[in-house]
Amino acid sequence: MLTDVQIAVIGGDARQLEIIRNLTELDAKLSLIGFEQLDHAFTGAVKEKIDEVEFSNKDVVILPVPGTSLDGQIETIFSNEKVILRKEMLLETPPHCTIYSGISNSYLDSITKQANRRLVNLFERDDVAIYNSIPTVEGTIMMAIQHTDITIHGSNITVLGLGRVGMSVARIFDALGAKVKVGARKSEHIARITEMALTPFHLNDLENEIKDADICINTIPHLVVTASVIARMPVHTLIIDLASKPGGTDFRYAEKRGIKALLAPGLPGIVAPKTAGKILAKVLSQLIQDDVKIRKGNNK
């Protein structure tokens, strides 16, 4: 249980509702910031504006999956007000306060470091990323069907990256009967692609390997689908970029060439927010409970 644990949940989408529900069931006390348009009420949770929050008693601060923008703004679909997380707010929190986010950036890294508060990026955890890859794959399949006029079965699919998402994407599209080739840099990834009975290639050879792609699925958060790569694609190729913003695709050149390129980070929150929220809620509640046990043990 999380009785008497004070938590601030700041912004987010429908995934946060599952987190809020789970934490209130565990008897935590929640301040909800950026939720004033939410009709549903949760026992033990109070809606507040960020400038009214008493951060001095917060044990935990939970941010949405994208964290903050580079100027500190936090996205929320349940509010029209601008919500900005500032360093001064974190400095008000107790030294043991932990900040949880899906991912981070230079701004969030900087203010948590200056405030000397622990920052946990949930999507760096293997369990979260692997669980999350399930709704990501389903969303990718949905986009592939919606934006092409061919079947997945028999189509040429090029997957870039064999991380936790890339592996799931490649495996499922192969299971659906597509001809899947996977580009990677590490020798162990090339070996794993071969073991999976898929066609491996080194990313240095991407310009040559992309020539027959019906769909190119990128999972690498760096610019890999460059103008020179796009220039070698068939004009009907669909690019689905699953990497975090700004993605790994030259979207300007793709548009110029008439190739449809879709940036689709955060697919779990779009196609299956309830499931994606439950994944995050399960991990978060366990991490917070573990921290409370450690803190109580240290105080004995």
**The pLDDT value given to residue 298:** 73
Give residue-wise pLDDT tens across range 240-292.
Answer: 999 988 899 999 999 999 999 999 988 998 899 999 999 999 999 999 999 99
> Is 275 within the bounds of a domain?
no
**The pLDDT value given to residue 41:** 84
At which of 124, 159, 178 does a domain end?
A: 124
120 and 92 belong to one structural domain: yes
Give the pair of three-digit tokens for residue 84. Answer: 């900005």
> Is 48 within the bounds of a domain?
yes
Whole-Å CA distances, 255 to 73, 95, 147, 218, 252 = 29, 49, 15, 17, 5
> Is 289 within the bounds of a domain?
no
Q: How many domains does the chain have?
A: 2
> Is 282 within the bounds of a domain?
no
Give residue-wise pLDDT tens across range 170-217.
Answer: 999 999 999 999 999 999 999 999 999 999 999 999 999 999 999 999
> Is 287 within the bounds of a domain?
no
Q: What angle do CA 22, 26, 30 make, to 5 degrees?
A: 75
Give residue-wise pLDDT tens across range 282-293.
Answer: 999 999 999 998
215 and 264 belong to one structural domain: yes
Instruction: Specify the CATH number for the domain of residue 99.
Output: 3.40.50.720
pTM: 0.86
> Is 292 within the bounds of a domain?
no
Greatest Cα pair distance in the chain: 67
48 and 161 belong to one structural domain: no
Domain containing residue 250: 127-270
Determine the average pLDDT of the residues in 75-91: 95
> Is 39 within the bounds of a domain?
yes
Q: Provide the 3-class DSSP secondary structure of residue 62.
A: strand
Q: Of 2, 22, 241, 287, which is closest to residue 128 (Cα–Cα)?
A: 287
Measured CA to CA, the distance from residue 199 to residue 9 in angstroms comes to 44
**The pLDDT value given to residue 299:** 67
Give the pair of three-digit tokens for residue 148. Answer: 């092409």
